[in-house]
């Protein structure tokens, strides 16, 4: 069974256009018919009035002939004060009076419509009756004409209806043709997009030359495909890097186990266990970071509460092992809204990175600037080149110097820190400093 839900856009728009045109045309047809009917009725009333006035003039001047010239389709009769027909049009000559009603007392004229006049069987007539006051009595003039039908005239009504049907047909055909032309580039875009999703994300849909909504749609689709291709490429790199970083500790553990199995008598099993624990710690760190990124990527809601950044830094820095000197420049009263555990993870990741690269000192500062809370972590290491500042926030990215100094890093700490900052409506950037790397976290203050 075909329902409206299965109809194409072309069919639906055509039907809507035809329906609107039909309703509009019907209203216009009714209005035009009623207007013509009123015009015809007014014209008929003037005709009857003119014919009657001419007859009255002849009567008053005493020049009334026995046979009047035909002026209306029904005819005219003049009755003397005795009720005798003394003058009429040829079609009523010798016929009895066509009506019995008279103008009401005090009135000289009246109009009536009747469909049962004996002289006009099967016809509906409008009869005008006029009273003429004369010295010898009242004279009566009857003037009859056919009632104007609601359609005024068959030929005229046929023209109106024909024009109405022609306009509806032309509207439907025009809309169908126009929608078909409009949908040609849409169909091309749809076909190309279907092939792109099935084969190659590097292809793009055709962009129509006209600057219209279809061109904007094509451009938006291509922009979406650009982002999709970039996301897919990032996902491939992420998967490749994750596989490589997960494979490294597994390979190390496998080599250690195989070596111990080949030379069981020469193996220091306790030392070997400690070596494997190191690989397991690295593996656990990678898996933990991956789970954190998955939660951040999914947009999982975090617990929001007022967090004093200075107190948070005091507590987290107090728990850390003192490898290098940490200088604290923490102003009290700097409060933000966020997840305390995630903000602590952000600080821990920044401190882990700073500790791996610092020569002798790390400076941690918290302050408020306007409506923004600012946390800075500065080390006195070799620093990071300007062209590498965005690279360090990419997942599984570890610069060569970092790899040489610390083989245990996962390459996910800084990306996780930036994701946490952005989830809190803030930013994490790497900015200029006289020496070392200076990471700056900016979050909205809790007012």
Output the domain CATH number for residue 254: 1.10.287
Closest CA to 45 of 98, 111, 89: 111
pLDDT at 407: 47
Whether residue 309 sits in one domain with residue 293: no
Q: Is residue 353 part of a domain?
A: yes
pLDDT tier at 2, thresholds 50, 70, 90: very low
Whether residue 283 sits in one domain with residue 251: yes
pTM to 2 decimal places: 0.49
Whether residue 377 sits in one domain with residue 436: yes
Please tell me the distance from the alpha carbon of residue 294 to that of residue 239, in angstroms, as a whole number: 13
Q: Is residue 291 part of a domain?
A: yes
pLDDT at 272: 77
Q: Is residue 230 part of a domain?
A: no
Please tell me the distance from the alpha carbon of residue 129 to that of residue 215, in angstroms, as a whole number: 73
pLDDT tier at 114, thresholds 50, 70, 90: confident
The enclosing domain of 439 has a CATH number of: 3.30.565.10
pLDDT at 242: 67
**Domain final residue pick, 297, 319, 344:** 297
Most confident option among 68-72, 141-145, 199-203, 403-407: 141-145
pLDDT at 403: 41
pLDDT at 312: 92
Closest CA to 370 of 397, 334, 394: 334
Please tell me the distance from the alpha carbon of residue 376 to that of residue 98, in angstroms, as a whole number: 112
pLDDT tier at 368, thresholds 50, 70, 90: very high
Whether residue 292 sits in one domain with residue 320: no
Percent of the chain with pLDDT strictly greater than 90: 16
Q: Is residue 107 part of a domain?
A: no
Whether residue 283 sits in one domain with residue 389: no
Average pLDDT value for residue range 51-71: 81
pLDDT tier at 298, thresholds 50, 70, 90: low
For the chain, the domain total comes to 2
Whether residue 413 sits in one domain with residue 390: yes
CA atoms within 13 A on the CB side of 353: 29
Whether residue 349 sits in one domain with residue 285: no
Please tell me the distance from the alpha carbon of residue 74 to that of residue 298, in angstroms, as a whole number: 90
Whether residue 402 sits in one domain with residue 383: yes
Contacts of 325 (CB under 8 A, 6+ apart): 360, 361, 362
In the predicted structure, residue 405 carries a pLDDT above the cut 60: no
Q: Is residue 219 part of a domain?
A: no
Mean predicted lDDT score pLDDT of the chain: 82
Whether residue 433 sits in one domain with residue 405: yes
pLDDT digits (tens, 9 = 90+) for 411-433: 788 888 898 898 889 999 999 88
Q: Is residue 360 part of a domain?
A: yes
- The dihedral region occupied by 112, where left means phi > 0, alpha psi between -120 and 50, and beta the remainder, is beta
pLDDT tier at 409, thresholds 50, 70, 90: low
**Domain final residue pick, 261, 278, 297:** 297
Closest CA to 438 of 384, 372, 367: 384
pLDDT at 404: 43
Whether residue 354 sits in one domain with residue 310: yes
pLDDT digits (tens, 9 = 90+) for 225-248: 888 877 777 677 667 666 766 776
Q: Is residue 36 part of a domain?
A: no
Spacing of C-alpha 53 from chain mean position? 69
Q: Is residue 84 part of a domain?
A: no
Whether residue 369 sits in one domain with residue 261: no
Q: Which domain holds residue 354?
A: 305-444
Please tell me the distance from the alpha carbon of residue 146 to that of residue 41, in angstroms, as a whole number: 10
pLDDT tier at 364, thresholds 50, 70, 90: very high
Whether residue 347 sits in one domain with residue 254: no
Q: Is the dihedral of CA 420, 422, 427, 428 positive or negative?
A: positive
pLDDT tier at 223, thresholds 50, 70, 90: confident
């Amino acid at each position: 069974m075909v329902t409206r839900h299965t109809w194409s856009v072309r069919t639906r728009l055509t039907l809507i256009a035809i329906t609107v045109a039909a309703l509009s045309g019907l209203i216009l047809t009714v209005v035009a018919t009623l207007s013509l009917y009123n015009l015809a009725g007014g014209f008929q009333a003037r005709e009857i009035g003119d014919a009657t006035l001419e007859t009255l003039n002849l009567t008053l001047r005493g020049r009334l002939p026995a046979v009047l010239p035909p002026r209306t389709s029904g005819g005219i009769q003049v009755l003397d004060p005795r009720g005798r027909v003394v003058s009429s049009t040829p079609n009523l000559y010798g016929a009895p009076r066509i009506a019995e009603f008279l103008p009401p007392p005090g009135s000289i004229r009246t109009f009536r419509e009747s469909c049962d006049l004996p002289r006009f069987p099967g016809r509906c007539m409008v009869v005008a009756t006029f009273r003429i006051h004369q010295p010898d009595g009242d004279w009566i003039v009857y003037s009859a004409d056919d009632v104007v039908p609601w359609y005024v005239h068959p030929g005229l009504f046929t023209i109106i209806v024909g024009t109405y049907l022609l306009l509806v047909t032309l509207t439907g055909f025009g809309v169908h043709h126009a929608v078909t032309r409009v949908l040609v580039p849409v169909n091309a875009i749809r076909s190309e997009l279907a092939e792109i999703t099935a084969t190659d994300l590097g292809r793009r849909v055709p962009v129509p030359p006209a600057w219209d909504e279809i061109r904007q749609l094509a451009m938006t689709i291509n922009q979406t495909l650009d982002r999709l291709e970039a996301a897919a490429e990032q996902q491939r790199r992420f998967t490749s890097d994750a596989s490589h970083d997960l494979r490294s500790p597994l390979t190390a553990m496998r080599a250690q186990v195989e070596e111990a199995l080949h030379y069981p008598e020469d193996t220091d099993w306790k030392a070997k266990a400690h070596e494997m624990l190191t690989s397991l710690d690295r593996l656990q760190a990678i898996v933990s970071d991956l789970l954190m990124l998955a939660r951040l990527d999914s947009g999982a809601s975090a617990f929001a509460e007022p967090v004093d950044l200075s107190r948070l830094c005091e507590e987290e820095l107090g728990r850390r092992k003192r490898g290098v000197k940490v200088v604290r420049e923490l102003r009290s009263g700097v409060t933000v809204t966020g997840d305390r555990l995630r903000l602590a993870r952000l600080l821990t990741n920044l401190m882990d990175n700073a500790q791996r690269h610092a020569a002798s000192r790390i400076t941690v500062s918290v302050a408020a600037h306007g409506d923004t809370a600012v946390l800075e972590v500065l080390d006195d290491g070799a620093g990071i080149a300007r062209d590498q500042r965005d690279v360090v926030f990419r997942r599984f990215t570890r610069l060569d110097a970092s790899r040489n100094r610390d083989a245990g890093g996962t390459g996910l700490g800084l990306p996780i820190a930036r994701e946490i900052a952005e989830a809190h409506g803030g930013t994490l950037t790497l900015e200029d400093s006289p020496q070392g790397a200076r990471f700056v976290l900016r979050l909205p203050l809790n007012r």
